[in-house]
Amino acid sequence: MKPENQELAREPEMILVGGKWIRGSGALEIRNPFDAQLVATVSTGTAADVRDAIQAAAASLESDFPAHRRYEVLMAAADRVEAQKEDYALAIASEGSKTIREARREPVRAASILRLSAEEGRRICGETLPFDSRAGSENRVGYWFRFPVGIVGAIAPFNDPLAVAAHKIGPALAAGNAVVLKPASATPLSALHLARDLTESGLPDGRLSVIPGYAGELGQAIVTDPRVRLITFTGGVAAGTWIAGQAGVKKQMLELGSNSPVIVLPDAVLERAVPAIAAGAFAQAGQNCLGVQRILVHEDVYDVFSRLFVAHAGKLRAGSSLDEATDVCAMINEREAARVEDWIREAIAAGATVLAGGRRDGTTVWPTVLEGVPEGVRLDCEEVYGPVASLYRVSSLDDAIDVANRVDYGLHAAIFTESLRPAFAAARRLNVGAVIVNDSTDYRLDVMPFGGTKMSGIGREGIRFAVQEMTETRVVCLNL
């Protein structure tokens, strides 16, 4: 599982289709974004493979897979992931946009997600219904219970390749479903290794397929197949909008990104706020849907905060993801890095000032801080998905909330204050899925409901909430 750092001809890694490990018809070269070193070669699947996987998934649902067995499989797989955490971390840091220090947190988190899913799978309950609450139904008794939706089609992003795969697979299996997962083309390794850990833990054939390949062909095959009853997707708004239009009448969980604001009030503890906000803005090279993008600082502390924040950003080291000293690694590819550079130039041309960074070298964009970003440019109103943060001077909490809410996204927001009243006011009035007090927007507990408002998507992840989304209710009524 350890990535090689030399150009070697290797057999492509196999993919999991309907319980069988096969070599696909094509192959993807997985390269380190920083230096383009070959990490691995992975087989790719086709629409026909997706159809085979869905057929096997449908067949697997005809066989009993009780909650206690689902629990055992998920717990055993979690142990396997944790036992190989350094190998997982090396793969994640080599194939994607995480430093090795960031990558080491992901397998530990993924193991926890699997365990939480296992536990939640034993708590899928219903309740009795008061049929005698209506005249004429006194002789009726009954209840409702939850049952699996059936086949879950999952499409995962590159930025958290193992944790997001676990978030889609774990609750779906715990709820009794079968899953067909397409991992991101740039980062399929950890999802494939997770699939192997699950199958080697006793997962029945057909309950999981993991098929890397090209988004257009595989995504179309997954999304439009009527046998797939729920789509769970994490990615951009354009792709999410396409999925919503193609899926037809089926359940959807769409997490589509953000443009997250952080409010800094005059009573904020800046020694706490500055490093937390910088970590939220620049971790994973800013390729994080929860990343800080707009920092709304009260005018009373703007100058002090700006000086401290710019100094902090200037100390961050950009470099190879496998270097233990690297703080900010390369972006996933040069096309994305060039796009971020273009957005920065657009903001400068419209009147913004660069306070730190602002330069690019290949796939690496240095941590960038701007001020004076005009309303309406892309850095202001769209999701940058890169290591760029913009400072805004605001005159009051009301002003800050107005600025925070004016974009079309609403995933997370944050506020730094030592007072309860503004904290609760922000919690009431910010139009987002979560308000984080005295930390950056980049905070997520895997048991909390995770999702947003507006163009940030529909549905909620978070283990218990995902299980609810991935099940249906059925009423049983007995006329005595």
Tens digits of per-residue pLDDT, 94-106?
Answer: 999 999 999 999 9
Tell me the pLDDT of the chain averaged across its residues.
96
The mean pLDDT value for 84-102 works out to 97
The answer on pLDDT for 211 being more than 80 is yes
The answer to whether 260 touches 294, Cβ cutoff 8 Å, is yes
pLDDT at 8: 43
pLDDT at 10: 59
Give the HSE-up count for residue 312: Cα atoms under 13 Å, Cβ half-sphere: 20
- Tokens of residue 457, six digits: 């998507």
Predicted confidence (pLDDT) per residue in 253-264, tens digit: 999 989 999 999
The answer to whether 54 touches 228, Cβ cutoff 8 Å, is yes
What order do you get walking across the sheet with 368-371 strand by strand?
353-356, 368-371, 388-394, 292-298, 260-264, 412-416, 434-437
Q: Return the active site residues.
A: 255, 289
Q: According to DSSP H, which parts of 295-448 are helical?
A: 302-315, 334-349, 378-381, 397-405, 420-429
The mean pLDDT value for 203-208 works out to 98
CATH 3.40.605.10 intervals, the chain: 15-256+456-477
Beta strand spans in 9-123 (E): 15-17, 20-22, 26-31, 38-44
- Tokens of residue 245, six digits: 């239009």
pLDDT at 402: 98
pLDDT at 2: 44
pLDDT at 9: 43
pLDDT at 342: 98
The mean pLDDT value for 283-289 works out to 96
Q: Which residues pair with 44 in a beta bridge?
A: 26
Q: Does domain 260-445 have CATH number 3.40.309.10?
A: yes
Three-state SS for 67?
A: helix
Q: Kindly write down the DSSP assignment for every residue of 321-357, as one continuous string.
A: TT-TT-SB---S-HHHHHHHHHHHHHHHHTT-EEEE-
Q: Does domain 15-256+456-477 have CATH number 3.40.605.10?
A: yes
CATH 3.40.309.10 intervals, the chain: 260-445
Whether the model clears a pTM of 0.75, i.e. scores above it, the answer is yes
pLDDT at 12: 85
The mean pLDDT value for 120-126 works out to 96
Q: What region does 51 belong to: left with phi over 0, alpha with psi -120 to 50, or beta?
A: alpha
Largest CA distance in the chain: 77
